[in-house]
Structures are given as structure tokens and as C-alpha cells.
Structure 1
């Protein structure tokens, strides 16, 4: 629903976040008498109507002191971004253009508003946490590069000189990985033999990937790479992950090149387990923000 929902007290905040579900929730923390807050208020309202696929909430730090303290708010206006009740980003200040850019960034990374029934309760699609600028893919073709497989459309990632790919995925914050989706076509070009490495201090090459011991090795079956397929990871080995390197060694049909049509991870941000530990006290009325 378009428009800004004003949170009247602390007890309303979590239910509103829950109601947003997998939709992007943009929360404005404001304070009565704050000049920058007043200046950006019309723009925030306009953005809520322009992007109805997101949920827009407004929280006054004095009326909702517990919510402000839990979220470590020290200045206003501060905008927090949530998905599935998990904080994924923040923006501070009264620059409407910068705020809209941040909103567009997260909507572009939206894994989809429809709930994925194959994602277990308590976990989420980690696509919004992938830092595309920190990602790398060796042996990708010029026409069908890595970013194609991060979108749910007809585009795809394809290898270039042979069937192998070496993909490094960087995250914007530490995450816990539960599983992944690695989808491919059923024409023999879908990925089969995979080696997974985490938190490498530097980029590896194909020779290093061949000889190095992985965090986990996988042999994917045809059912694993279907649209409804999900690949289970050894959860205890993926508890504090900043980056993942995926070495695709072969495909199902010994084809010349490998194709990946969609790729993402399922899990949670590490900080999600610690959100309620933040207890910064918001200043009383009259104190500077």
C-alpha cells in the first residue's frame, strides 16, 4: 500500500516489519523540531507513492525510544532498510536524491516479492547482500557475463574458452549460509562438479582451485539445477562468511561451455542474531541530534 505509515509506539514497529515480509521496508527515524527531518518529509512521502512495491514507515525517536535504541539511532533523519525483518542497509541525512538512489538500488536487487516456499522459515534470499562491485568471474563470456545469473529473466552466465568458471561472490556484511540455488539448462550445459571456498585472503586462479581443498565439494544432479532445486550446504562450515569462491569444474553433458541461469544463496546476515543486543540510549528532549 502506498503512503507512509507512522509508528505511534514501540509495540507497533515489529508487527509492521513482519507485515512487510520479503518486501523492502524503508524506515525513517525522525524527531519533532528537527529541521532536516522536516525538509525531507515531503520527498519521503512522494517516494512512498512512487515505489508502492516497498513499505515506508516513520518512527519518532522520542515516541519510540526502545525502537530507536535497539536500532542504534544516534542522529536524525536516519533511514534504515529492512527485508524479512532483517536490517540490510542505512542512509543518513536529508538528501532526497541520495535516498532515492539507495531505494532504487535495493529494489533492483529484489529477489522477488513472491514468497519462496523452498526457503525454510528463519532464512532469506541473500541476493540483497551481494556486493556486485566486489564480485569477480573468471572465464565468463563477453556476451553472457556474471551479473546475468543474478537476475530472474532469460539472460544467463556462460563460460568462454572451456566449461570451467571461477566465481567470487562478496557480501556487504558477514552472513551465514544455509543453502544455494545454482540453476542451469537441461541441455547438458548445466553445472555439475563444484568446489566451494570461503573467505579467501586473495583471488585464486584455476590451477589453485584445482589443487586446493575446498570448504565443501558438490556433485550436482539434474534435479539440483532445476528452477525448484536447492543445494544444501554444510551449515556449520558457513557461519561467518564474507566471500565465497565457487569453482565450476564441469557440466552435465561434457559440453564445451557451461551455463548458469540463476544463482543466489539462502541464509541470514550474522548481525540478525545480534540485533536486540544494541542498547544505545537516545538523547532526551533538548539534546542535540
Structure 2
């Protein structure tokens, strides 16, 4: 089948949709990089031997939007997708590891044991959260970064005020359907007000002057 060269975000979205229940391997690369050049013939060989798997390659200089959406910093790297959801990633610097990972996921897909989104077809958006998150009134020891980790030993704590403002931007456009808030005993929020599409971290006075899109009690 060959390795398809992706040039635009919409082209990649179409490739994800077309893959449906096939395993899709997306290799991120940059031009004139020795490790990327060494991986290329391996992917070509795999694509020709395994027609049940789709392969594509994406230049991080040509398609910065795609690279940023998956937080790609070092190349080569291969991302694995199934049903349009990212299920794994592997450093492409070792072609043998890539080959083994492809075979591993091929077998997993065949017996239909691919992990599925936890809530009715929706996916976890944590990996798309931008690093520029802010929290007004957070303590120095327990910051907003702690509450975004899946770790029961870490949590967000106020320094002294009973109110917190969390600004959580995403690197790509998203449609938010659910929010999960874990608490320790009675230390959780009594009321949560949601404001969407705010381009910067607002203060208490600014947020008081506008209506929340939703209030949770």
C-alpha cells in the first residue's frame, strides 16, 4: 500500500476517518535527519507486507499544527491510532522497536482488545491541554499541574482564599462534554462556574461581571 505523505491537517483527519477499524501508524519526521531517513525504508517495507495496516508520514516543519496537537518535540516518533483515537506511541529512532510494536498492535486489533474511550465514545482530552495553564490563589506546594495528573496523591490547594480561578487552554479546538473532579473527603469545591472561549486568564472582578455558561453545585 505504501506510506502516504500527509501535507495538511484536513488530510490527516480524512486519513483517520478512512482508517476506521484498521490500525493507523503515523510517523512524524523532519527532513535531512539521519534517524528519520533510517526509519523510512522500514516503514515502506512494513506497509508493503501488511495491507491491513495503514501508514502515513508527517513532516513536523510542514504540518506544525498536527505536530503541536500531539505535542511532538523529538523525531522520529510513531503514533498508533485505532478508530481515530491515539492508542500508543514509540520512539522511531529504533526501527526494530517500531516493527515489534506494529506486530503487537496488529495482534491486539485482530482480537478486538484495543482500549476504548471510557465514556460513551468520547475521549480523554488531557493530552491536548496547553502548558500555559494558570490558577489564581493556588498554593505553592499543590498547584494546578497536580490536579491535571492522574495521581490520587496529588491535588490542587488554595493558598488561603476559598475561591480559585482555573484557566485551562487547549492546543486544538475541542468540544468539552464531561468534567471529572476528584476530591479528598469534604475538601472539594462547593460550587463550580464554567466560562468558555476565554483567550486569557481573567481575574475575579472580570468574571464577576459576566455570566457563567454553566454553574455546578
TM norm. shorter chain > 0.5? yes
CA distance in 2, matches of 1:196, 1:184: 18
Q: How many residues align?
A: 160
CA distances 1:39-62 after superposition (whole Å, capped 9, x unpaired): 1369x89xxxxxxxxxxx98759x
Could you tell me how far apart the structure 2 residues matched to 1:213 and 1:198 are?
Answer: 11
CA contact 2:36–2:93 (8 Å) conserved in 1: no
1:228-267 to 2 correspondences below 5 Å: none
- Structure 1 unmatched runs, 5+: 1-5, 18-24, 46-56, 89-93, 98-112, 220-289
2:171 matched to 1:165?
A: no
Alpha-carbon displacement from aligned partner over 1:23-81 (angstroms, at most 9, x marks no partner)? xx753389xxxx87541369x89xxxxxxxxxxx98759x98xx67xx79688x98663
Which structure has more strand as a fraction of its residues?
1
After superposition, give the CA deviation of every residue in 1:224-267 in whole Å (9 maximum; x if it has no partner): xxxxxxxxxxxxxxxxxxxxxxxxxxxxxxxxxxxxxxxxxxxx
Mark the runs of 5 or more structure 2 residues left unpaired by the alignment. 5-14, 63-74, 95-113
What is the Cα-based RMSD across aligned positions, in Å?
4.5
| Residues 1:194 and 2:192 are matched in the alignment | yes
Cα distance change, pair 8–207 in 1 and its aligned pair in 2 (3 A): closer
TM-score by length of 2: 0.56
Higher relative contact order (CA 8 A, sep 6+): 1
Give the TM-score taking structure 1 as reference length. 0.43
Are the counterparts in 2 of residues 29 and 59 from structure 1 also a CA contact under 8 Å?
no
Give yes or no for contact 1:27–1:59 (8 Å, CA) kept in 2. Answer: no
Whole-Å Cα distance in 2 between the matches of residues 134 and 84 of structure 1? 29
Question: CA separation of 1:80/1:202 partners in 2, compared to 1, >3 Å: closer, same or farther?
Answer: same
Displaced runs of 4 or more, over 6 A: 6-10
**Mapped contact 1:137–1:146 kept (Cα < 8 A):** yes
Q: Which residue, 150, 153, 158 being the options, matches 1:152?
A: 150
Instruction: Look up the SS of the partner of 1:167 in the other structure.
Output: strand
